[in-house]
Structure 1
Amino acid sequence: MTRRSRLDRARSFVRNRSRVGLRRSQSSVLPAVQITVCAVGAYAFAEQVLGHEGPLFAATSSLIALGFSRDPRLRRVLEVGIGCTLGIAVGDVLLATLGTGLWQAAVVLFISVLLARFLDSGTIFTTQLALQSLLVVLLPAPEGGPFTRSVDAVIGGGFALLITVLAPRDPRREPKGDVRKLLGELSGVLRENSRALTDSDSTQAWHALIRARNCQPIMDGLSGSMRAAAEVARLSPAYRRHRDELGELGGSIHFIDLAVRNSRVFSRRLTSVINHAALSDDAVHSLAEMIEDTADAVDVLALALSSSTTTERREHLRRAREDLAAVATRLHPARLNVTRLEGEGLVILYRPLVVDLLESTGLSHEDAAGYLPKL
């Protein structure tokens, strides 16, 4: 590789990283303002109102509880407050028993970590309990006693909850963006399968399988954003009216997850079908067209579930339901010109995927399955 090509690659890397970083910073302006107000406000309250000297734990606990994590904030607040209190209690008991010193600190930290893992699986809880136990052994107690830190931690958590309740950010925004991204990936998987059929390319079908498997991190992030959104809607009076919509979105996400899982099964089987040349030209054309129609319906479903208004959501859901129902009525081997056993198995595997997508539009399982022709 020449020096010039290395410089070009380096410039391209810096340019891309800068673009991504700038976009990430722009989307984080409001959360950064909230975190700043929360941390400084908690510190000022503990210092000016309660008279605590240097209440750093009020600021740090609010930072941890509010943060950029998608985990529900109420759980993080409880983990910070309870972990801090238990850590101080454990540290005091062990301090009275063992005394101070480096080896005592090591014993305290080891016992605290094991105790925290025994009580709860949360990483924040473990960190807080272990940290407080260690600080009790290594540092002198602040004025007002060691449990002043625990009070500061609760104050910081309380400020984080207050910001959450009063936050102007719509809790539906993040999960809707995530579900649109997930459905975009599912649509891409289906289109890759359609092209693999048309081109008789089993490698492309395998790539579609890999892409479907890579949807799992998106699904995990979506689950976290849904939990956080549901918590905000439950705590904030301004957003309680969105609880029903979030509940419906959660139901749709469950069936979308099943559809993504079924797309993996279908892609894996499609690889085998292509390798064995188990489909006639007419069957290939019919199946590829049907899969493309399904992908188009998935795109409409993505518009429905990410719509900002009720009217748009209902209109797009109706259209997606009709398009998917039209696909379901064709899911019979004879209607798709499929004659061989391996091809028939491929069609049978596709039926649950379409039923899952129909259920994600709000249909019951019985109504969704009712569109399928009897085998």
Structure 2
Amino acid sequence: MTRRSRLDRARSFMRNRSRVGLRRSRSSLLPAVQITVGAVGAYAFAEQVLGHEGPLFAATSALIALGFSRDPRLRRVLEVGIGCTLGIAVGDVLLAVLGTGLWQAAVVLFISVLLARFLDSGTIFTTQLALQSLLVVLLPAPDGGPFTRSADAIVGGVIALLITMAIPRDPRREPKGDVRKLLGELSGVLRENSQALTSSDHTQAWHALIRARNCQPLMDGLSGSLRAATEVAQISPAYRRHRSELGELRGAIGFIDLAIRNSRVFSRRLTSVINHAALSDEAVQSLAQVIEDTADAVDVLALALHSVSTAERDQHLRRAREDLAAVATTLHPARLNVQRLEGEGLVILYRPLVVDLLQATGLSHDDAAGYLPKL
């Protein structure tokens, strides 16, 4: 590799890295404001109103509770407050029994970690309880007494909760964006299957299977963002009206998860069908078109679930439902010119995927399955 090519690659890497970093910074602007206001506000309240000297625990507890984690925020607030309080209490008790010193600090930390894991599985809770108990042993007690730090932690957690309730941030934004990404991947999986079928390329069908398997991290992230959004809608008066919409979104996501799982099964079987040339040219053309039509309907469903306008959402849902219903009515081997047994099995495997997607549009299972022709 020449020196010029290495320089070009380095410049390209820096451009891409800068672009990603700027995008991430822009999306983090509001959380950064929340963290700054929460941490500094908690410190100022504990110092100016409660009269605590150097209330560092108030700032740190607010910062941790308002952090960038996708875990539900209310859980973080409770873990921080309770973990700090218990950690300080445990530290004070062990300090009175064992005294101060390095080996005492080691014993306190060991006992605190085991106690935290016994009480709760949360990593933040364990970290907070262990850290606070360790600091109680290593640091001198403040002028207001040892439990001054516990009060500071509670102040930070309460202010974090108030900021979560007060900042005008639509809780639907993140899960709706995540579900659009997930459906975009499902649409891509279907289109790759259609192309693999048309070109008789079993390797591309295998790539579609790998892509479908890689949807699981997106699904996990979506579940976390939806839990966080539901918590905000429950505790924030400004967004309680969105609780029913988030409930409907949760139901749709459950069926989308099933559809993705069925897409993995279908992709795996498609690889075998292509290897054995089990479909005629007419069957390949018909089935490939059905898969493309399904992908188009998934794109419309993504627009529906991403929309914040009720009228727009209902319009897209109706169109997605109609398009998927049209696909479902063709899912019979004879209608798709499929004759061999292996090809018939492929069509039968595709039917549950379309039913799952129809249910994601709001249909019941019986109504969705009713569009399928009887075998």
State the AA in 1 paired with 2:282: D
State yes or no: 1:98 paired with 2:98.
Answer: yes
- What is the identity, as a one-letter code, of the residue corresponding to 1:25? S
User: Residue 255 of structure 1 aligns with which residue?
Assistant: 255
What residue number does 2:134 align with?
Answer: 134
Match of 2:312 in 1: 312
Aligned-pair CA distance for 1:117: 1.0
- Aligned equivalents of 1:66 and 1:176: distance in 2? 21
**Alpha-carbon shift at residue 30 of structure 1 (Å):** 1.4
Separation of aligned partners in 2, 1:121 and 1:146: 27
Opposite residue 359 of structure 2, the aligned amino acid is E
Question: What is the DSSP-based 3-state SS (H/G/I as helix, E as strand, rest coil) of the residue aligned with 2:334?
Answer: helix
Paired residue secondary structure (1:333): coil
- Aligned partners of 1:182, 1:255: CA distance in 2, in Å? 12
* Partner Cα distance (1:221, 1:146) in 2: 39
The alignment of Structure 1 onto Structure 2 pairs a total of residues equal to 375
Secondary structure of 2:335's counterpart equals helix
CA deviation after TM superposition for structure 1 residue 342, in Å: 0.8
Map residues 260-279 of structure 1 onto 2, 5 A cutoff: 260-279=260-279
For residue 121 of structure 1, report the CA deviation from its aligned partner: 0.8
- Residue matched to 2:25: 25
Q: State the AA in 1 paired with 2:349.
A: L
**What is the Cα-based RMSD across aligned positions, in Å?**
0.8
Please list the CA deviations of residues 284-342 of structure 1 after superposition, one character each: whole Å capped at 9, or x if unmatched. Answer: 11110000000000000000001121100000000000000000011111111111111
Show the counterpart of 2:351. Answer: 351
Distance across 2 between alignment mates of 1:110 and 1:269: 52
Matched, 1:192 2:192: yes
CA distance in 2, matches of 1:230, 1:344: 43
TM-score, normalisation: structure 2: 0.99
What are the residue-to-residue correspondences of 1:225-236 with 2, within 5 Å?
225-236=225-236
Give the unaligned 5+ runs of structure 1: none
89-98 or 108-117: bigger deviation: 89-98
- 2-side partners of 1:340 and 1:255: how far apart? 30
Mapping 1:157-236, distance limit 5 Å = 157-236=157-236
**Distance in 2 (alpha carbons) for counterparts of 1:361 and 1:303:** 12
**What residue identity is the alignment partner of 2:14?**
V
| Partner of residue 57, structure 2 | 57
Matches for 1:101-116 after TM superposition, within 5 Å: 101-116=101-116
TM-score normalised by structure 1 residue count: 0.99
What code does the residue aligned with 1:171 have? P
One-letter amino acid of the structure 1 residue matched with residue 154 of structure 2: V
Which amino acid counterpart does residue 90 of structure 2 have in structure 1? Answer: V
Q: State the AA in 2 paired with 1:345.
A: G
Letter in 2 for 1:98: L
| Cα shift at 1:149 | 1.0
What fraction of aligned residue pairs are identical, expressed as a percent?
89
Q: Structure 2: which 5+ runs fail to align? A: none
1:321-374 deviation line (CA, Å, top 9, x unaligned): 000000001111111111111111111111110000000000000000111111
* Partner Cα distance (2:26, 2:77) in 1: 26
Deviation digits for residues 267-295 of structure 1 (CA, Å, limit 9, x no counterpart): 11111111111111111111100000000
Corresponding residue of 2:295:
295
Task: Give how far 1:97 is off.
Answer: 2.3
State the shift of 1:96 in Å: 2.2
Equivalent residue, structure 2, for 1:41? 41
Distance 1:233 1:86 in 2: 29
Give the CA deviation at 1:86.
Answer: 1.1
The residue identity in structure 2 corresponding to 1:308 is: V
* Counterpart residue type for residue 173 of structure 1: R
Q: Which amino acid aligns with 1:43?
A: Y
Write the deviation string for residues 225-267 of structure 1: whole angstroms up to 9, x where unpaired.
1011111111111111111111111111110011011111111
The Cα shift of 1:27 comes to 1.4
* Aligned equivalent of 2:325: 325
Aligned to 1:246: 246
